[in-house]
A and B are shown apart, each in its own frame.
Chain A
Amino acid sequence: MRASRIGRRAVALAAGVVFVLLTSRASAYPWMIRHGYTGCTPCHTDPSGGAGALTEYGRAQSDLLLRMRYGSTSEEADRTAGLLWGIAPLPEQLRLGGDFREAYFSNKVEGVPVQQQFLTMRADVYGDIKVGRFRAAGSLGYVPQGDLTASLTSAPNDNLVSREHWLGVELDDEGAFLVRAGRLTVPFGLRMIEHNLWARTLTRTDLDATQQYGASLYFSREQIRGEVMGIVGNFQVRPDEFRERGYSIYVEYAPMTNMAVGVSSLFTRATRDIIYSVTDYRYANGPFVRYSPVGQLVLFAEADWVYQSLTWNGHRSGYAAFVQGDYEPTQGLHLMVTAEAMNRGASGEPSSLDGWLSAVWFFLPHMDLRLDGIYSSVGVPATSASPSTHTNATSWLAQFHVFL
């Protein structure tokens, strides 16, 4: 059962890596569609959402719609919605913020001792300045472990990271068209706070450290919005042969204020893939949907087909998909159920499945607590010594999050 031990260790390692990498933004909440917000503007300085600072309007909405109100919901936004709880007023053109997330993580893989640890998941500050139609944005953070592909420094641990930095020009007065260049979050699929969903990791399109350098055009017209990006590589990775080049795009259509459907497509080529160390042609395509049948409930789903052509190592045709339901029984308290499936497409690899039960409580201005319980059954490919199998793991994650 050597192969089995190897499989378990692989799963333990993968799970550990997933949670060491687990970070999140204050603001990637696509369930805001329950309030009729199908797009990410006007709350986010990044028109595709998830990354970067909030606008003044977005800060007000975080107070009015996000946190528990403990009373009247028709009062004006509290002044504590501002930067640093309102003690540091800023000019309209300058939007600053920060994210700090600490967690306690427990992971039990069958046949392996329990792994428990405290994690600093995010310690970033970021800003966006707008002068006329010109925009500049960037982030700077500290990461004790991981996120090496976003690092500005090159130590094994304790690095400075910059996840985004870009310059842009709005092409119209209302910001419906934005051209920008720099390090950007790859425009693909749903921008979820759960960046370690398999749909995000398999397509390498999370909010954490998979940003790429390139140029993009964001567009929004009536019921359609989207972003297309030409990718020229991650220049925080060396040498150049590891850099992926290609394109990524998503387009979303909102026929109603409580529903949006979209599709994404991505293609990249790297002379040496950062995981497989061979030339890799990587394709990902798939649909996604958000729907709020009633105000308290929002449903999301995404399914992506991922194909990789690995030179001298054959082809991999896999997929990742998830469904999530977000129920908000009272403002500020979210109960979520998530189901995922994934297959990386390795020879003889069985599909992996998992389920999440989560609760998030936005208990005070700028603060929330989150608890996740995750059960995973991860497919382990067959080897010459053993058939394919599944290894099961149960994880718990408790988080405290504050944003400035």
Chain B
Amino acid sequence: MQRHKRLWALAVSTSLLAISAAAYAALAGPTDARVMFQCSGPAGLKIEGTTTEIAVAEDSGSVSITVPLANLSTGIALRDRHMKEKYLEVQTYPTAMLIIARSGLKLPPSGERLEADVPGMVKIHGKAKTVTVHYDAKSEGGLYAAHGQFHINMNDFGISVPSYLGVTVKPEVDVSASFRVTGS
């Protein structure tokens, strides 16, 4: 019988963001944003989900990067539906968030690039967990091009491991994000 649970992907990811870089100061509107998660199934199966929606804000010494999950897409409509309805429960938990202490973020001097790790707090599916975000940022005259990534396990966030017709996704998920922001 059908254990209809879809492989989808866990979306989780979403969370994304990582990017610390973002951190930037009075950050103004991220552009050229792309958030992606990747997880895998048996025998080399790969699932990738993306969205271009992201919001970056700075408040009380923290930089928060928020990703709405409603438009997260893996390229297969039914898989997306399962991901959002059964696993991420987007109706209840519509966003994923990464919060990083502003003081922990390093910014590259003008025209240069830097790479670093920073601790952050990921909130997905109503649960929070500390992760290490690896990021790089490049200063391009008033603009910062940032890319960051981190790793999560969906079990840590109370997300059921997706399984569909005998194919079960592994709970480990790689999350990455890239965008440009302006900083003061």
- CA of A175 to CA of B76 in the docked complex: distance in angstroms? 24
- CA of A225 to CA of B74 in the docked complex: distance in angstroms? 23
Selected from B47, B74, B78, B165, the residue in CB contact (under 8 A) with A73 is B78
**Is B34's beta carbon under 8 Å from chain A?**
no
Selected from B42, B74, B76, B80, the residue in CB contact (under 8 A) with A41 is B42
- CA of A73 to CA of B48 in the docked complex: distance in angstroms? 19
Give the residues from 30 to 53 in chain A that come closer than 8 angstroms, CB to CB, to chain B. Answer: 35-39, 41-42, 47
Selected from B44, B47, B164, the residue in CB contact (under 8 A) with A223 is B44
Give the residues from 218 to 272 in chain A that come closer than 8 angstroms, CB to CB, to chain B. Answer: 220-225, 254, 257
Q: Mark B121-158, 1 if CB is under 8 A from A, else 0.
A: 00000000000000000000000000000000000000
B43–A36 CB distance below 8 A: no
A42–B166 CB distance below 8 A: yes
- Chain A interface residue count, CB cutoff 8 Å, equals 33
**Is B109's beta carbon under 8 Å from chain A?**
no
A55–B166 CB distance below 8 A: yes
Selected from B42, B43, B76, B166, the residue in CB contact (under 8 A) with A65 is B76
- CA of A75 to CA of B81 in the docked complex: distance in angstroms? 9
Instruction: Say yes or no: A41-B77 contact (C-beta < 8 A), given A56-B165, A92-B166.
Output: no
Selected from A35, A39, A56, A73, the residue in CB contact (under 8 A) with B43 is A39
- A32 to chain B: closest CB distance in Å? 11
A74–B44 CB distance below 8 A: no
**Is A60's beta carbon under 8 Å from chain B?**
yes
DSSP class of A's interface residues: helix, strand, loop or mixed?
A: loop
Chain B residues in 8 Å Cβ range of A75: 78
- CA of A47 to CA of B44 in the docked complex: distance in angstroms? 11
In the complex, the number of residue pairs spanning A and B with C-beta atoms less than 8 Å apart equals 73
Instruction: Say yes or no: A39-B76 contact (C-beta < 8 A), given A76-B4, A92-B166.
Output: no
- CA of A362 to CA of B102 in the docked complex: distance in angstroms? 55
Selected from B44, B48, B77, the residue in CB contact (under 8 A) with A220 is B44
Selected from A56, A76, A225, A295, the residue in CB contact (under 8 A) with B44 is A225
Give the residues from 51 to 78 in chain A that come closer than 8 angstroms, CB to CB, to chain B. Answer: 55-57, 60, 64-65, 72-77
- CA of A161 to CA of B44 in the docked complex: distance in angstroms? 33
**Is B41's beta carbon under 8 Å from chain A?**
yes
- CA of A257 to CA of B38 in the docked complex: distance in angstroms? 10
Selected from B4, B45, B46, B78, the residue in CB contact (under 8 A) with A74 is B78
Give the residues from 161 to 179 in chain B that come closer than 8 angstroms, CB to CB, to chain A. Answer: 164-167
A220–B78 CB distance below 8 A: no
**Is B61's beta carbon under 8 Å from chain A?**
no
B46–A38 CB distance below 8 A: yes
**Is A181's beta carbon under 8 Å from chain B?**
no
Nearest residue, chain A, Cβ from B164: A57
Binding site for B on A (CB under 8 A): 35-39, 41-42, 47, 55-57, 60, 64-65, 72-77, 92, 174-176, 220-225, 254, 257, 295
Apart from A37-B45, A39-B44, what 11 extra A-B contacts exist at CB < 8 Å?
A36-B46, A36-B47, A36-B76, A39-B43, A57-B165, A57-B167, A64-B76, A74-B77, A220-B43, A225-B44, A257-B46
| Nearest 8 Cβ contacts at the A-B interface | A174-B42, A74-B77, A220-B44, A73-B77, A41-B43, A57-B165, A176-B43, A220-B43
* A and B contact pairs by CB, cutoff 8 A, 22 listed: A35-B75, A35-B76, A36-B46, A36-B48, A37-B45, A42-B166, A57-B164, A57-B166, A64-B78, A72-B77, A73-B77, A74-B78, A76-B4, A77-B78, A92-B166, A176-B42, A176-B44, A221-B44, A222-B40, A223-B44, A225-B44, A257-B47
